[in-house]
Amino acid sequence: METANDSAEALRRQILETEDELKRLKDQLSKVEEKTALEQDGPVTQSKWPLSAEEYQRYGRQMIVPNIGIQGQLRLKSASVLLVGAGGLGCPASVYLAGAGVGTIGIVDGDVVETSNLHRQILHNTSSVGMKKVDSVISYLKSLNSQIKYTAHATHLTPENAAEIVSSYDLVLDCTDHPTSRYLISDTCVLLQKPLVSASALKTEGQLIVLNCPPLPSGDEKGGPCYRCVFPKPPPAESVVSCGDGGIIGPVVGVMGVMQALEAIKVITEGRLGGDLMRAEQRSNTMLLFAANGNPQFRSLKMRGRNPKCLACSANAAMTLETLKAMDYAFFCGVAAPVSILGPEMRIEAREYEGMRLEGRQHLLVDVRDKVQFDICSIDGSLNVPFSTFQGNRALVQAGECPSWLSMTLSPDAPIYVVCRLGNDSQVVAKKLQDSGLDKNGTREIRDIKGGLRAWKQQVDSSWPEY
């Protein structure tokens, strides 16, 4: 006689058999569907089309260019690019990289947006003044292409953080404006084997070079030269002029930033990044020079390959990621503290000078800015003798003669005051004038206005134009 336990066991066996049959039927149905799909449309998989429908529409115009194609677009999508600097170069470069579909874009910059940036740093606007530059740029880029990953590094690149930041990216764009940062970025890219696109712009001219491309290990002569190969020694510190001092036309820096984006796209789509190095050919090393007023405006100079004695990329290079952290790039480039070559007795505060001027005491005020700056604004009664005039002592007393710019009607003991924009060049000139003998063995007072015309605005005339 069948017991309850026997009935339960029989029921369990029946359920298991039913489940096995259902699984068999599901597998059979799946094979039939797969076979039908193969006969009709080919395999049905998620990778049938490597890009989304929107990506085909968005990037279609560049994908049909023979040098790009679908393979180039996929390389762009998988690439990560770091831009060091979110200013005049970084703005146009980043917008074209985002438009082209670079998968990941990182931006390093520790500055905030200022009104003086707006004429050339085109991704910032009036409402973003005071905002972090990286946040301002990324806000714009997201509105252009939200499919990309953006990473903000709201800091300045330093020897301590450079390797950590750069290591996460395939390619680096140097969009900075000083030799200290250029050497740091290049050294970091050499050590981490990252190609580098470097550009600079000042006044009406610019230059562009692609460095460390292909990014082969130090000592491999097939690798591209680094910044130290091209410029083994930094320029004299006194010759380094920033956009704030030398000026810049917006479209000039814009042209160079756009060219950086173009070279970056070429490096990526040609397969010159780390994973594609075996397929990459050694590129021709050239420097592109741009002169807005030149004829022709563009010139290309052929450069040598890696310098066999380079401190960074030669076989004998001793630089490592650890020694990089201890590098003093400011010292290497000769950057010192603000000029301080005059004692306090040879300097005068702007308010003190104004008080003396209002008393009507005879004196001479020499403004050593360039004429173009002097024409923008000047203190009444000042004489413009550009700083360049004093180079080589051409404007100083020679063999007891009076310099041409010094009026013969000025009393021999009348004080001479020197002013510039920030109070640096004025110190140099005041010291030269004193050393040349114009101080009449201490009987004539020669002093500079401390803090220059910036101090004049703060202490005397708040309406003074700040440019």
The first and second tokens of residue 183, run together, are 């050497």
Cβ contacts of 34 within 8 Å, gap of 6 or more: 43, 44
Residue 331 to residues 39, 158, 336, Cα–Cα distance (Å): 71, 14, 7
Determine if residue 145 is labeled as part of a ligand binding site.
no
Determine if residue 377 is labeled as part of a ligand binding site.
no
Determine if residue 117 is labeled as part of a ligand binding site.
yes
User: Rounded to 5 degrees, what angle do the CA atoms 229, 236, 156 make?
Assistant: 75
Q: Which of 175, 189, 333, 420 is catalytic?
A: 420
Q: Are 172 and 184 in contact (CB under 8 A)?
A: no
Determine if residue 119 is labeled as part of a ligand binding site.
yes
Determine if residue 120 is labeled as part of a ligand binding site.
yes
Determine if residue 118 is labeled as part of a ligand binding site.
yes
Instruction: With H, G, I as helix, E, B as strand and everything else as coil, classify residue 294.
Output: coil
Handedness of CA 187, 188, 194, 198 (dihedral sign): negative
Is 402 designated active site?
no
Q: How far apart, in whole angstroms, are the C-alpha atoms of residue 464 and residue 73? A: 52
Q: How far apart, in whole angstroms, are the C-alpha atoms of residue 419 and residue 422? A: 8
Determine if residue 124 is labeled as part of a ligand binding site.
no
Determine if residue 293 is labeled as part of a ligand binding site.
no
What is the full DSSP assignment across 371-411?
HHHHHH---TT-EE--GGGGGGGTTS--TTPPPTTS-TTS-
Q: Are 74 and 56 in contact (CB under 8 A)?
A: no
Q: How far apart, in whole angstroms, are the C-alpha atoms of residue 132 and residue 243? A: 20
Instruction: With H, G, I as helix, E, B as strand and everything else as coil, classify residue 286.
Output: strand
Instruction: With H, G, I as helix, E, B as strand and everything else as coil, classify residue 214.
Output: coil
Determine if residue 189 is labeled as part of a ligand binding site.
no
The first and second tokens of residue 437, run together, are 């003998």
Q: Which of 91, 175, 243, 402 is catalytic?
A: 243
The first and second tokens of residue 174, run together, are 């140097």
Determine if residue 178 is labeled as part of a ligand binding site.
yes
Determine if residue 88 is labeled as part of a ligand binding site.
yes
What is the full DSSP assignment across 20-79?
HHHHHHHHHHHHHHHHHHHHHTS---TTSSSS-HHHHHHHHHHHTSTTTHHHHHHHHHH-
Determine if residue 198 is labeled as part of a ligand binding site.
no
Residue 132: closest CA among 150, 114, 105: 114
Is 333 designated active site?
no
Active site residues: 243, 420
Provide the annotated binding site: 88, 109, 116-120, 133, 177-178, 226, 229, 310, 313
Provide the annotated binding site for Zn(2+): 226, 229, 310, 313
Provide the annotated binding site for ATP: 88, 109, 116-120, 133, 177-178
